[in-house]
Amino acid sequence: MVSVGSLPSLRPATPPALWSSSGSPVLCLLPRSEAELRCRVPGGPLCSGRGRCDCGVCICQVTEAGKYYGPLCECQDWVCEIYDGKVCAGHGKCDCGKCKCDEGWYGEACQYPTTCNLTRKKSNEMCKNSQDIICSGAGTCQCGRCKCVNSGGSGLVYGKFCECDDRECIDDETEEICTGHGQCYCGNCYCEAGWHGDKCEFQCDITPWEIKKRCTSPDGKICSNRGVSFMHFFYTYSYNCFCENKSLSRSIYSIYGHGQCNCGKCDCKEGWTGKKCEHPRSCPLSAEESAKKCKGNSNLPCSGRGKCECGQCTCFPPGDNRVYGKNCECDDRQCESVDGNVCGGHGICSCGRCVCQEGWFGKLCQYSRKCNMTEEESRSLCESADGVLCSGKGSCHCGKCICSPQEWYISGDFCECDDRDCDKHDGLICTGNGVCNCGNCECWEGWNGNACEIWLGTEYP
């Protein structure tokens, strides 16, 4: 018999009777009920559903290094808060699902600086959504970043501009999010295997394997690659699934495509039909209702920068994260100059608008407030061929014409152009998919037409 005092000090936290003096494991002496009790939190699954219980010790599944860890396999680095596309906003490290912030930063996603060098005006400009509403009216602005208002610390209102409200996922009867059988993202429920419905309130009674079998086409695609087998996402069984389940909050729409596998059949999104969600169909919404949902506060569905399918927007170009928002309302390409510089390198882009650093101004932060020219030298560079300063429609600063901000449509090196001469589509110059250059629309990549109203680029799969 080995005494407790003779045991090495660095060993798994298991009963001394389970280990020999050499450190090798021996036959487990714990009753099964006691071992399983040590492998779960009260009422929870063994090893958080992510590993197996070996004599009271959780052995976590290791499909990726460090994917699951912790005494009960409860830790997952990829569920840490994401801000502006970066885990912990790029200002901290993910530790067991929570961000540990670097010095000088705080917040659930380490998104707030402890000191702020912005003026209140600049800060508020950075917090405005495309409708010029600070934090979508659902939060407060702190140093250019939105802090969403959540009563009782619920965390249900979130997003860069507090545009997502997961309270829409709460079931009226049970008062649980997605009835406790799914995950909510930006107000929409995505159900786990065996459950379906808008709030995941309906259950089915077939096995996970039968569910997958019925949803898989002969070429091995689940719901025609327009859905997903939910057993993989929530329980990580051994069969393969085509989607990547990391970075859920940024990619959930592309993951779930046009349907989901529930109860052995593909539950297609509105606008799609077929056994595998392979056929588009007429939408249960009227054309007016669908367009209204896609418009938001814009004049055009999806702000003219995407495709509206039954009230939901898919932004173009595919995969370009410069165009985003529920209604594709943010277009950060508007912050780029012809040579591709964002805000001239002297500011940051916030939903398609440049917020300039101190000492710089202009639509693209292209003008320095300092000037080494004399007044005469400056004026000589601003005069057009007819001798008129900035065509009489702007002011001269350091040899460059600054066109009147009151007349937003005036542009050109000498303020000689009128952007109202460019073609329009439904009232929008160049449909918002290009820039007007002295009467002609120069379209963004993938767009065509006199008003850049025709999408010719690659469709989403």
CATH code of 36's domain: 2.10.25.10
Rounded distance between C-alpha atoms, residue 150 and residue 145, angstroms: 16
Using CA atoms, how far residue 229 sits from 131, 204, 219, 277, 307, in Å, is: 37, 15, 15, 13, 26
Q: Which two tokens stand for residue 246?
A: 């990391």
Q: Does some domain include residue 394?
A: no
Positions in the chain short of pLDDT 70: 1-26, 62-68, 76-79, 85, 152-154, 193, 205-265, 267, 269-283, 405-406, 458-461
Q: Does some domain include residue 117?
A: no
DSSP state of 75: B
Residues in CB range of 117: below 8 A, 6 or more apart: none
SS3 381: helix
Q: Which of 75, 107, 131 is the last residue of a domain?
A: 75
Are residues 76 and 86 in contact, defined by beta-carbon separation less than 8 angstroms?
no
Backbone angles phi, psi at 457, to 5 degrees: -80, -170
Residue 408, pLDDT score: 72
Are residues 108 and 99 in contact, defined by beta-carbon separation less than 8 angstroms?
yes
Using CA atoms, how far residue 431 sits from 23, 302, 311, 321, in Å, is: 71, 11, 20, 19
Q: Does some domain include residue 130?
A: no
Q: What mean pLDDT, rounded, does the chain reach?
A: 74
β-strands 394-397, 400-403: how paired?
antiparallel
| Same domain flag for 275 and 172 | yes
| Same domain flag for 275 and 173 | yes
Q: Which of 75, 103, 132 is the last residue of a domain?
A: 75
Q: ∠84-86-91 over CA atoms, to 5°?
A: 105
Number of domains in the chain: 2
Q: Which of 245, 280, 315 is the last residue of a domain?
A: 280
Q: Which two tokens stand for residue 254?
A: 């592309």
Residue 206, pLDDT score: 57
Q: Does some domain include residue 210?
A: yes
Q: Does some domain include residue 106?
A: no
Are residues 165 and 187 in contact, defined by beta-carbon separation less than 8 angstroms?
yes
Residue 288, pLDDT score: 83
Residue 78, pLDDT score: 54
Are residues 285 and 120 in contact, defined by beta-carbon separation less than 8 angstroms?
no
Q: Does some domain include residue 197?
A: yes
Enter the pTM of the model: 0.41
The boundaries of the domain holding residue 41 are 4-75
Q: Does some domain include residue 371?
A: no
Residues in CB range of 325: below 8 A, 6 or more apart: 129, 130, 163, 303, 315, 351
**Residues 225-234: b if buried by 16+ CB within 10 A, e if exposed:** bbbbbbbbbb
Q: Does some domain include residue 18?
A: yes
